[in-house]
Structure formats: structure tokens, C-alpha cells
Amino acid sequence: MSIADWPLFLFGIIALINIIYYVFFSKFIFQKNSTQAQSSDDPVSVIVCAKNAAQHLKKNIPFLLDQIHPDYEIIIVNDASIDDSLDVIEQFMEQDDKVHLVNVVNNESFWGNKKYALTLGIKKARHDKLLFIDADCKPATEYWITEMSAHYGMDKQLALGYGGYSKIKGNLLNALVRFETAITAMQYFSYALWGNPYMGVGRNLGYTSKLFYDTSGFMSHMKIMGGDDDLFVNEAATKKNTSVVTSPKSFTTSDSKNNWAAWWRQKRRHINTAQYYKSSHKFLLGLFYLSQFGFFITMALAFSFSPWEFVTAIVITRYITSWIVVGSSLSRFRESDIIIIYPILELLLIFSQLGLWMHNNIQKPTQWN
């Protein structure tokens, strides 16, 4: 093989790796919408962790109170808020006896540690089935508790749900946030369906208190700022104890960050926890990212030094494969409106992830909210 052939050969290998990943992710798009696997009438403890979230609580707790489920409680953990969160929670407690409070006060040992606050909320819970949602989230339907709780209990101990973001028409940042969220869910759902779960999101996550205590809670990563959701799943989830909930009735929705700086801070915190995943997961996720980033770099080299016909054929093959899988996933997550700008969003996401990684290596994030 001559030196002139290397750019095309390298591009072909990287494109093939990338295509294999998308074929792997197609496991999700061919999965039928989840159906209730067992009785959905079991009592559930819904846990909401709130830090300076008074306005979010006012807006979203009514959606939790309107859930159609025979037996559930709502435990709101006020994590040393300095706004009116405590007053808002107490008002809801007066209105409905399903609402309970855990009030975390500021102390030097655990200041800023969401995991400590969540642990207190879990200890307060009366039921074995725990269902988690963030203060800035709301269930997409009144059947959220029923749909999610039907998929874990005796055999399955952990249920992965989808937490999306509200749509803002004509807003590029909002489109990117929704795209990144759907792509991430496509990946962790697919890995779980293949029997290798590696993460979940605290905006929509269920597990049993038994699993929490059997795993010693968050103790193995208590000193790490983030990861109350993904690091716990990475440690506790297995092929046998994890289920995937894909029904649209089980989705949750959050308000998207409304400026680039706020989104950047949020993503820095999220990306920082990935370095603590199991080695096999870090390798597989890293290889996928490298195949994406490398695809564009080697494509430029191949177009510069190789016959354009061969390069174009590889590009078309890769985009047909990825567009089918990504487009189908976006459709399942009710994000069809951004399919048409998928190539733009993909490039933005790949290079923003590179920037986030570089930023975190220079300066670590220091707060969860």
C-alpha cells in the first residue's frame, strides 16, 4: 500500500467502526414500546431533590399530584436552599398529605453534595419502589408513575426512563440540547438492551430501596460531585436486574437551559462523571466518540489525497446508516422536528464535547446546582 492510499484506508476503517456502532444502536429502534411487565399498583415513593428551585416546584409538583396511581407519596428534599423552596414545599404539604419534606441544612461536611440530600430522602421513603425526578422536571403524562413502576420490583431492581426537554421553536441551543439528550438515551437504552447497562438520568429513574442499600448507596462515589444517577447505575445495574422503559407515557420533560453559558456549565458537570465509569464502558464510549471525531478529520484528508468517488461513497454509506438510526430514535423520543438538521447538530455536539473535555481538564466544576 502506497503512502497515497493511507488517507482513504484510514478513513474507511474509521467510518466502518462508526457504522458498526450505529448498527449496534439500532437495537433500540427495533425494540417495541415497553408494556407493563407486572402489577403497576405497588406503592411508590417519588423523590424530588430541590436546591433553590422554588419556581420549579410551584410549576411541577401539581403534575406529580395529578398522577393516576393508587398509592404513592412525594418526598421533596430541600437541599439547603436559600430561596423560598421550603415555604413552597410546606404549602404543598398543607394542600395534600401525599407530600412529605426532608429539610437538609447547610453543614460543612456535606455542603453542595446532592447525594447526601438524596440519601436522606431515600431513608425517609416508606416504600421499596423509589422513583426519581428533578425539581425542574414534570411527567409527560398522568401515567408516569404507573408506567415506570411497572418495570421494576421483584425480578428487575432498576428501570431506565427517558427525560426529554421542552421545545423552543427556532432556537438552535434548544435543538442541540434535545438532540444531545436523545442521542445519549439512544446509547444507554441500546447498551442496556444488549445486556450492558452503563448509565441513567436522575430526571427519570427508578430503583428499589433494596438495590440502593445492597449497593451501599452512593458511598463508593460520595465525594464525587455528580453521578447520583449515572454513577449509581454504572455500579448497580446488571443485565439481569435492569429494564428499559420506552413508552411515551413514561417520559418526563424539563425546561431547557436558555443560554449557552448555563448549558455549558451543566454539561461540564455531566461529562466530569464519565471518567469514573467502569473501564469497559469508558473504552466503548471513548471509541464511539473517536470514530465520530475521526470520521470528519480523516474525511477531509481523504478528499484531499484520494479519489473523490470512493470517499463520497463511504460518506454516503455512513450517513444513510446513521440518519436511519438517529432519525428513528429521534422519532421515538418525539423529536422528529430536528431530524432534518441532524448533520449540523452532530457537528456542533462533537466539537462542543471536545471543548467541554478540554475545559474540565483545565478547571474542574465545583457545584451541582
For residue range 126-139, list pLDDT tens digits in order: 999 999 999 999 99
Cell representation of residue 239:
443485565
Q: How far is CA 15 from CA 294, 313, 340, in A?
A: 8, 11, 22
| Strand, coil or helix: 286 | helix
Give the end-to-end CA distance of the chain in Å, rounded to a whole number: 54
Query: Per-residue confidence at 35, pLDDT binned at 50, 70, 90?
Result: low
CA 255 to CA 56: how far, in whole Å? 9
Contact 251, 164 (CB under 8 A): yes
Task: Say what percent of the chain tops pLDDT 90.
Answer: 74
CA 101 to CA 360: how far, in whole Å? 35
Size of the chain, expressed as the number of residues it contains: 369
The pLDDT assigned to 259 comes to 81
Q: How far is CA 367 from CA 1, 112, 121, 237, in A?
A: 53, 6, 20, 26
The pLDDT assigned to 4 comes to 60
Least trusted range by pLDDT, from 46-50, 185-189, 262-266:
262-266
The DSSP annotation for 21-83 comes to HHHHHHHHHTSPPP---S-S-S-EEEEEEESS-HHHHHHHHHHHHT---SSEEEEEEEES-SS
The pLDDT assigned to 135 comes to 95
Cell representation of residue 80:
439547603
Cell representation of residue 156:
428487575
pLDDT of 113 strictly over 50: yes
CA 281 to CA 118: how far, in whole Å? 25
| Strand, coil or helix: 11 | helix
**pTM for the predicted model, two decimal places:** 0.91
Question: What is the 8-class DSSP label of residue 202?
Answer: T
Q: How many helices (H) and strands (E) does the chain have?
A: 12, 10
User: How large is the average pLDDT for residues 79-108?
Assistant: 91
pLDDT of 341 strictly over 70: yes
Contact 104, 121 (CB under 8 A): no
Tell me which H or E stretch contains 339: none
CB count within 10 Å of CB 173 equals: 16
Question: What is the 8-class DSSP label of residue 285?
Answer: H
The pLDDT assigned to 1 comes to 59
